[in-house]
Amino acid sequence: MSAEAISENRAKSDFWQGVRLSLPVVVAAAPFGLLFGALAVDNGFSVLEAFLMSAMVFGGASQMVGIELFGQHVAPWLIVLSIFAVNFRHVLYSAGIGRRIAHWPPVQQAVGYFLLTDPQFAVAERKAETGETVGFAWYMGLGLPVYVFWVTESALGAVFGRLIPDTHALGIDFLLPIYFLGLVMGFRKRPLWLPVVVASAAASIIAYKTVGSPWHVSIGAVAGVLLAVILPPHHSGVEARP
Amino acid sequence: MSTTLWIIIAGAIATYLTRIGGHLVISRFENIHPRVEAGLNAVPAAVLTTLVAPAALGAGPAEWAALIVAGLVSLRGGLMAMFLAGAAVLVLARQFVG
């Protein structure tokens, strides 16, 4: 086999390894894709608009907030600002993942940042943590199925939205918190994990009760990150490296 | 173009800016200070916790049972196992407590 064929095979197996890791994400997000489509039409979006929003924004929670405000006839600039606020946590993901994908060509990086969702960041960050390289093929294997299913489900939900049965009995509204807890637990071996989780949990709950949603996400996140910055470096394990 | 389409396009641009913005800011610095690196390492746990904690607080016994079981399973099993265990407990518990 030529060197080229070998590297192509490696990219293929990396891609499929990523696809396997995307399965829980696809399952957890599926009800929300359908739900988003159904709610979007319910709030005055056309099927095409629901499809376009999922294809272009690709951020579940922010899309839900967006259509909810749209249905309440809130001023357009305020809707856009709310979408920005809900998605603001990605700034932190972006700063973190940049270290892992800096070796990609710029165009691949630009595509990579488009797919940077909560699970995408968490799973890629865990791979990097074990010392493995985060490759483009692997990253696409992880991100593309989530994207394709999300967009497809949004369109399906928009067309067939009224057919979704009792979502509460099926537990659909609480699947994402369970999934996110799994992601949090995945980082429990990191230095400062427990203090950061406690600080973020407390700050986000207080902010949720006082300032309100969606700001509790950014406020809670900043609290946990600040704690890690403020504590002396020998606690955070970053100075131990050569 | 309709207002809806403008909202979607502006929302998409705003979202992409959050996804690439952190990198563009951080990459301007030659060396990353250890404290900044410690902060970046704390990002996943910090952000993801905020997506769980308020939701858990506002929930009921069925949701708490699901989170506890899922949390315990995650100590041993993989992500898919913990997710399915949590979902199963949630659906079961909701048949009884609603």
Predicted pLDDT of residue A241: 45
Q: What is the mean pLDDT of chain B?
A: 90
Query: What does pLDDT average to in each consecutive run of 10 residues of chain A (242 residues)?
Result: 74 93 90 87 90 96 85 84 87 93 96 96 93 96 97 94 67 79 89 95 95 85 93 70 42
> Which residue matches tokens 């932190």?
A92
Predicted pLDDT of residue A166: 65
Contact (CB<8Å) A182/B74: yes
Domain ranges within chain A, ordered by starting residue: 3-186, 190-242
Per-residue pLDDT tens digits for B54-75: 989 989 999 999 999 999 999 9
> What is the DSSP annotation of chain A?
--HHHHHHHHHHHHHHHHHHHHHHHHHHHHHHHHHHHHHHHHTT--HHHHHHHHHHT--HHHHHHHHHHHHTT--HHHHHHHHHHHHTTHHHHHHHHHHHHTTS-HHHHHHHHHT--HHHHHHHHHHHHTT----HHHHHHHHHHHHHHHHHHHHHHHHHGGG---TTTTTGGGHHHHHHHHHHHHTTTSTTHHHHHHHHHHHHHHHHHHT-TTHHHHHHHHHHHHHHHHS-HHHHTSTT--
- Give the integer Cα–Cα distance in Å for B16 and B12: 6
Predicted pLDDT of residue A123: 94
Contact (CB<8Å) A174/B48: no
Predicted pLDDT of residue B98: 61
Domain ranges within chain B, ordered by starting residue: 1-30, 43-98
Predicted pLDDT of residue B29: 80
Q: Are the C-beta atoms of residues B93 and B62 closer than 8 Å to each other? A: yes
Q: Are the C-beta atoms of residues B22 and A92 closer than 8 Å to each other? A: yes
Q: What is the pTM of this model?
A: 0.78
Q: Return residues 32-61 of A near B (CB < 8 Å).
A: 44-46, 49, 52-53, 56-59
Q: Are the C-beta atoms of residues B87 and A199 closer than 8 Å to each other? A: no
Query: Once rounded to an integer, what is the mean pLDDT over residues B33-54?
Result: 88
CB distance from A201 to chain B under 8 Å?
A: yes
Contact (CB<8Å) B22/A91: yes
> Which residue matches tokens 């994402």?
A176
